[in-house]
Amino acid sequence: MRVNWTNIRAFLTAEEVPRWIGLSLTGLLIFGLGAVSIGVLDDARVRSAERLRDTADSSVELLASSLSRIPAEQADQTQLALREYTRWYQCDTLRVVSEDGRILCSIDNAEIGTSAALSPDVRPAATLQRLTRDMGAESGEQPKRMVVVGFDQHLDEHGTGEERTSRRYLQSVLTQRATVGLADAGMGTSIAAVTVIVLFLLVYRALRRHFRSMSLISENLMSRGDQIESDLHSLRLTDIHGALADQWNRLVDLVEEMSADTRRASASAELTAVLQKSGRGELAEVVNAVPDGLIHVADDWRVNFANSMAQRLFEISIAEGESPRLDELQASSVGQVIIERLNESRGPDGEAVAMSSVVETDGGESHYRVRLVPFARGKRAGQCVITITDISQQVRADKASEEFIAQLTHELRTPLANIRAYTETLSSGMFDDPKVIADCYNVITKETRRLARLIDDILSASQLEVGTIQIHADNVDLGALLTEAVRDLRGLADEKQLDMQLSLPSKMPTLQADRDKLAVVVNNLLGNALKYTPGGGEIRVGCQVSADVVLITVKDTGIGIDSADNERVFEKFQRGSNPVVEEIEGTGIGLATAREIARRHGGDIELMSVPGEGSTFIVRLPNTSNSSGTGASTAPNATGEV
């Protein structure tokens, strides 16, 4: 008979095999649990009988000892003790017998005064202290334990005070309680069952995972044999995990990598030839238009090609047909730093090693991301492509973001600390002066508004980050908005002894705009004016209305802004370069948010400033009112002071 090993091997690697193994182990498990349960029950019965004997002997002796301290004349006390004993132990017989066999006390009132009818081998002799015997085990009845204990008791029959000692016997027949053994048996069976089940699940899970990995590998190879070269990734095992599956996936990844390296090596030669033949053709123009530096280096570390950005960055000029060595280029200071970092990435045999690093130049002002990508392995180990990307702006943005988080933490902590301090002052009840209480409420209100403005700035910055700022246009009374903004900040201006004035036309337009967003713009500009204007200065808020444009001006006599920073201060997380600015708290998002909101309304913000003299911010908005120069009157007089 010829054995078909192919069918046997297919059966052993099939997914159904672990299931049959599981069913077989389940049957063995049930059989084993039954055997264990029977053994545990037998053992529990044996131990239960032993406990009964020990309990019966000790409990009856203790009862006899207690009865010996009760005078014989107090039969009611003896009877009460026997009744109390039966509350804790199940007894068929429990009585006190005199030396002549008369029953003195018993849990059965009918037998008191009668003679104890005991078999000769059980009837105690005068010298007997304790007699024990197991009953009922041979006849199949519930096991019982007979215990007879002798004890001495004082007797004064005629009340003369002359006591004598009389021998008494405590006879008992105790019935065993089967529930104790069953509880032990149930506990033992449960422990055994849980242990066996856990072991079974662990073994079955390990076998199933192992066989499942083998089955899927075989299935993938058989079903995708014609796609191996074009789609290696489809052979990966993605829905299971395990040592075998992980090793198989690593093998697939290695084959994919080797295949990719082979394709890159083949394309490298073609690319080199194309670059050398293209000269100043169309392909060269495309590569030269790339905003990043691109350098192709040959095996001997010679530059085969460098695009225009790389040559400008290194401040070199490579003529057609020249191939200078990269480490011998007379490059700029920036280029030399980059070349030194590239030289460090070369292996001991001159091979190019993949590298990605950030190079810092110009004293930390400029940062470049330098990447080296090897072309191939083996004999072409030195050939690679180098890309150089200017990430200075990104680094500055990241640094500004970190500073913003640090400053924001401080900005949040200060008003919260003030609110907490004044709240505790009010709650202490130590101050009854209405002026002190009013001052506390004013500080709490001021700090609460400060927190609200800060949170609005944070939300606006977050919306700027993801580009989700939305304008919900509605009728906006511009005069009322400006009046309210100046009134809210009047307290802060008075604290710094600043003269804040609002001048509005006699009639103000009602714009179609987002009132909350415009309030953020005005509050941010006024907040900056208050922050950067020394005590004793002036702040002027005004508005001009024409047929097409509405101009809101905020002018201060503060520290001013250098002309080189006019655009920088409108960038997110950026502040002026004046050293005085660094000493003043700020997040660097207020002006960026204000300009973005103004632009979303179809307008913009302009800045005119002279360092040391002050700054003027002009918010330019389109006049979207029904008729220019008309609307609700918001100023009580020509100057509109509030």
| Segment 368-417, tens digit of pLDDT | 999 988 876 544 556 788 899 988 888 877 776 776 676 667 667 777 88
- At 575 the pLDDT is 65
Task: Count CB atoms within 10 A of the CB of residue 40.
Answer: 19
Is the model's pLDDT at 179 over the cut of 60? no
Q: Which class would CATH give 280-385?
A: alpha beta
Give the pLDDT band (50/70/90) at residue 2.
Answer: low
Pick from 39-48, 115-124, 223-232, 359-368 the range whose average pLDDT is largest. Answer: 359-368
- Both tokens of residue 555? 């002018």
Cα–Cα dist 313/377, whole Å:
29
**Residue holding tokens 């922050």?**
531
Distance between CA atoms of 1 and 133, rounded to whole angstroms?
72
CA–CA distance, 376 with 560 (Å, rounded to integer): 58
Which pairs from 356-359 meet CB under 8 Å and 24+ separation?
A: 358/391, 358/395
Residue 342: pLDDT band (50, 70, 90) is: confident
Q: In whole angstroms, give the CA distance from residue 235 to residue 218.
A: 10
Query: What's the rounded Cα separation, in Å, for the pair 298 and 191?
Result: 72
CATH class of the domain whose range is 470-622: alpha beta
- The distance from CA 614 to its chain's CA centroid, rounded to whole angstroms, is 48
Return the SS3 of 102. strand
- pLDDT category at 574 given cuts 50, 70, 90 is low
CA angle 191, 194, 195 (to 5 degrees): 85
Q: What is the pLDDT, as a whole number, of residue 543?
A: 94
Segment among 23-32, 311-320, 327-336, 618-627 with least mean pLDDT: 23-32
Q: Which residues contact 313 (CB under 8 A, 6 or more apart)?
A: 293, 332, 334, 335, 338, 388
Q: Give the model's confidence band at 603: pLDDT under 50 very low, under 70 low, under 90 confident, else very high.
A: very high
Please, where are the H alpha helices in 350-433?
392-428
pLDDT of res. 482: 93
Angle between helix 590-600 and helix 515-532 axes, rounded to 10 deg = 150
CA distance linking residue 192 with residue 32, whole number of Å: 10
Confidence of residue 549 (pLDDT cuts 50, 70, 90): very high
Per-residue confidence (pLDDT) for residue 502, from 0 to 100: 92
Which of the given ranges, 161-175, 362-376, 596-610, 620-634, has the highest pLDDT on average? 596-610
Classify burial at 479, counting beta carbons within 10 Å of its beta carbon; exposed 0-12, middle 13-18, buried 19 or more.
buried
Q: Where are the domains of the chain?
A: 71-177, 225-270, 280-385, 470-622
| Token digits of residue 324 | 């200078």
Report percent pLDDT > 70 for the chain: 65
Percentage of residues in the chain having pLDDT higher than 90: 9
How high does pLDDT run on average in the chain?
Answer: 75
What average pLDDT score do residues 521-542 get? 89
Q: Do 303 and 383 touch, CB atoms closer than 8 A? A: no
Residue with tokens 């009374």: 477
What is the pLDDT, as a whole number, of residue 542? 94
Report which of 107, 37, 114 is spatially closest to residue 79, judged by C-alpha positions.
107
Q: Look up the pTM and report it.
A: 0.39
Q: How confident is the model at residue 629 (pLDDT cuts 50, 70, 90)?
A: very low
**More confidently predicted of 155 and 79:** 79
- Per-residue pLDDT averaged across 172-181, rounded? 61
pLDDT of residue 620: 94
Residue given tokens 């899970």 in the structure block: 205
User: Angle between the 392-428 and 434-466 helix axes, to the nearest 10 degrees?
Assistant: 160
Please check whether the two domains, 280-385 and 470-622, share a CATH topology.
no
- DSSP code string of 290-353: -SSEEEEE-TTSBEEEE-HHHHHHHT----TT---BGGG----HHHHHHHHHHHHTB-TTS-B-
- pLDDT, average across residues 204-208: 64
What was the pLDDT predicted at 119?
47
What number is the average pLDDT over the span 97-117? 82
Q: How far apart are CA 470 and CA 36, in angstroms?
A: 73
Placement of tokens 């003195």 in the chain: 104
Per residue in 224-280, pLDDT tens?
A: 656 565 566 666 666 666 666 777 777 777 777 777 767 666 665 565 555 555 555
Domain 71-177 has CATH 2.60.120.10: no
Token pair listed for 29: 């498990």
Environment class of 30 (CB within 10 Å of its CB; exposed 0-12, middle 13-18, buried 19+): exposed
- Report pLDDT digits (tens) over 440-472: 888 888 788 778 777 776 776 666 666 667 788
Residue 641 clears pLDDT 50, i.e. is over it: no
Q: Which tokens go with 637?
A: 């007089």
Question: What average pLDDT does this structure show over 608-626?
Answer: 88
Handedness of CA 318, 322, 325, 328 (dihedral sign): negative
Angle at 339 between CA 338 and CA 343, to 5 degrees: 120
- The single residue listed with the structure tokens 């200065």 is 537
- Please name the residues in contact with 238: beta carbons below 8 A apart, sequence gap of 6 or more: none
Cβ(306)–Cβ(318) below 8 Å: yes
Is 320 or 168 the better-scoring residue by pLDDT? 168
Non-local (6+) Cβ contacts of 72 within 8 A are: 104, 153, 154, 155, 166, 168
pLDDT at 578: 63
Say what the pLDDT of residue 231 is. 63
pLDDT score at 617: 93
Q: How confident is the model at residue 171 (pLDDT cuts 50, 70, 90)?
A: confident
Q: In what order do the strands lie in the sheet with 614-622?
A: 499-503, 538-545, 549-556, 614-622, 604-610
Q: Considering only CA atoms, which of 620, 626, 385 is closest in space to residue 512?
A: 626
Which is it for the CA torsion 310, 313, 314, 318, positive or negative? positive
Cβ(137)–Cβ(143) below 8 Å: yes
Pair 255, 274: CB distance under 8 Å: no
Name residue, tokens 């950030």.
Answer: 358
pLDDT for 480: 92
> What local confidence, expressed as pLDDT, does residue 635 receive?
40
Residue 126, φ and ψ in degrees, nearest 5? -65, -25
Mean pLDDT confidence for 159-187: 64
Confidence of residue 634 (pLDDT cuts 50, 70, 90): very low
